[in-house]
Structure 1
């Protein structure tokens, strides 16, 4: 006991210094943990306000919390005299090895972060992305789940989506229906345009502004092509598209306007040989 007391008296300044460093390290770690929780909560609120999927929010905030906590732990260890350079080197080497092994997954992860941050589409939008056309069901951190019009569930890697052009058909409130109607050169062009105008304007789903466009688009080899371009609400697009085509066919039939179809003429030439 006397030896311990003597040792304490001889090294009291050194022990006091270590004790202060330990207390300071604990304070640094405690404050860092509070900062990590605060940052993760703020990020969670910001992501939820932008209607990001809760699973994605939990994953992202967990990663942010872990990164800040690891940085805080390294700072605390450095304060008590532990050489953190070796720890950082080990973490860097491990991260490099994991990154090389999971290169595809990390690419999908980074693409998922970009989709969450820049919001090119959201759940419920009908998009054409990654070579797949369908309605977005869920946006996850590694993949996006889509449903095709025939109710197939397709899981598309996020890297495949961000590496190609994304067409969002639900981004705007209105869309233009583009139709090309072909009639024969012997048909009454003025009557055809009048009938097309009546068909378009009689549909209550067609918007008055911008006004529908009905113009001759081309004088083709065997047909006169008329462009029909009404504007509709995005939700009415396919209904107007299909119904307008059917009405045009029936109305043209009733008014004797011929809609040519592709034909091929075959001429057979027979050589006559003189009989000897």
Structure 2
């Protein structure tokens, strides 16, 4: 007991100094925790002001808070006199290992944040992304869910979306239909164009402005190709497309204007029977 008392007496200044450092370290932890929470809430408000998805806001806020707490803890330990270099190295190595292991998921997450933040498309849009065309059903943090025309659900990683071309067919109120109709070389082109123009004009879904374009686009191997380019509302695109294709075919048949099959002309030379 006497030895303990003597040790306390001899190290009294050291104990007081350590006690003060411990109190300061605890204060650093408490104040740092409050600051980390305030910074996290500030980041959340900024993201909410920019209309970022709530799932992203929650994740980013938690990440900022966690990083803040880690920094405060290291500062507090350092204030007590401990060497934090090894601790920082271990944390850095662990973070690097986790990052390498989850690089695919982190890439998809970062892409999800970009999609939600910049909104190249939204739920309900008809898009073509990652080689798949369909209606956007849901934009998640790591992937996007599409519904195809034949009612299949396709889930595409967000990284594959942002690394490729995004085609959004729903951003504009109108779309142009591009039809290519081939007629025979023997056909009267002026009459063929007029027949097509009459069919287009008879469809009430075709817009008057911009005006429809009808003209010869190519002298192909088996036919003269005529382009028909009317404008319609985006919602009417496919119904109008299918109806125009059918109605033009029927009108050309009625006008006896041939839509030729692919054909090849074969020329044969008759050899002189006396030649051998």
Q: TM-score, normalised by structure 2?
A: 0.82
Contact 1:25–1:77 under 8 Å retained in 2: no
**More displaced stretch, 263-272 vs 194-203:** 263-272
Alignment match, 1:120: 120
**Partner of residue 98, structure 1:** 98
Contact 2:177 2:237 in 1 (8 A): yes
Structure 1 counterpart of 2:240: 240
Partner of 1:29: 32
**Is contact 1:126-1:170 (8 Å) kept?**
yes
1:206: Cα distance to partner? 1.8
* Superposition pairs of residues 172-211 of structure 1, within 5 angstroms: 172-211=172-211
Give the Cα–Cα distance (whole angstroms) in 1 for the partners of residues 202 and 69 of structure 2: 65
Tell me, in whole angstroms, the C-alpha distance in 2 between the residues paired with 1:90 and 1:226: 70
Residue by residue over 1:120-177, the C-alpha shift from the partner in whole angstroms, topping out at 9 and shown as x without a partner, is: 2222222221122212222222222211111111111222222222222222222111
**1:165/1:97 Cα in 2 relative to 1: closer, same or farther (>3 Å)?**
same
Contact 1:36–1:69, Cα closer than 8 Å, also in 2 = no
Q: Which runs of 5+ in 1 are unaligned?
A: none
Determine the structure 2 residue equivalent to 1:151: 151
RMSD: 3.1
Task: State the alpha-carbon separation in 2 of the partners of residues 239 and 45 from structure 1.
Answer: 40
Aligned counterparts of 2:244 and 2:36: Cα–Cα separation in 1: 63
C-alpha contact (below 8 Å) 1:143/1:157 kept by paired residues? yes
In the alignment, the residues of structure 1 paired with residue 23 and residue 163 of structure 2 have an alpha-carbon distance, to the nearest angstrom, of 53
Unaligned stretches of 5+ residues in structure 2? none
Answer whether contact 1:177 1:241 (CA < 8 A) is retained.
Answer: yes
Which has the larger displacement, 12-21 or 157-166?
A: 12-21
Once the two structures are overlaid, the 10-residue window that deviates more, 227-236 or 78-87, is 78-87
1:22-171 matches, cutoff 5 A = 22=25, 24-46=27-49, 49-50=51-52, 52=53, 54-171=54-171
Q: Aligned equivalents of 1:124 and 1:210: distance in 2?
A: 26
TM-score of the two chains, using structure 1 as the length reference: 0.82
* Residues 1:61 and 1:170: Cα distance change in structure 2 (over 3 Å): farther
State how many pairs are aligned: 271
Which SS does the other structure have where 1:116 is aligned?
Answer: helix
